């Protein structure tokens, strides 16, 4: 295979998780604006909930 083609495939595989995360965040933001007229991304309650849910796995990973 062509080296430039392999470089493109490697770039896509590196960016794929970030692109899917951006797509999910955009979907939830648009849905929250349409259904409830509030922001999904910049809501203090959501940030607290994410932090609370992430605390236990992070503590387990630290040891």
Instruction: Please list the pLDDT of the chain residue by residue as tens digits (63 residues).
Output: 678 888 888 898 999 999 999 999 999 899 989 998 888 888 888 889 988 999 999 999 997
Tell me what pLDDT residue 60 has. Answer: 93
Tell me what pLDDT residue 31 has. Answer: 92
Q: Residue with structure tokens 């998780």?
A: 17
Range of the domain at 15: 3-62
Sorted by sequence, the CB contacts under 8 Å of residue 38 that are 6+ apart come out as 32
Tell me what pLDDT residue 15 has. Answer: 92
Q: Count the Cβ atoms, other than its own, within 10 Å of residue 23.
A: 10
Tell me what pLDDT residue 1 has. Answer: 61
| Three-state secondary structure call for residue 63 | coil
Tell me what pLDDT residue 44 has. Answer: 87
Domain count, the chain: 1
Sorted by sequence, the CB contacts under 8 Å of residue 4 that are 6+ apart come out as none
């Amino acid at each position: 295979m062509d080296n430039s083609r392999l470089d493109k495939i490697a770039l896509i595989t590196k960016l794929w998780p970030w692109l899917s995360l951006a797509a999910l965040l955009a979907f939830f933001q648009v849905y929250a604006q349409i259904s409830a007229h509030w922001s999904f991304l910049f809501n203090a309650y959501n940030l607290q909930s994410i932090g609370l849910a992430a605390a236990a796995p992070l503590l387990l990973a630290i040891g």
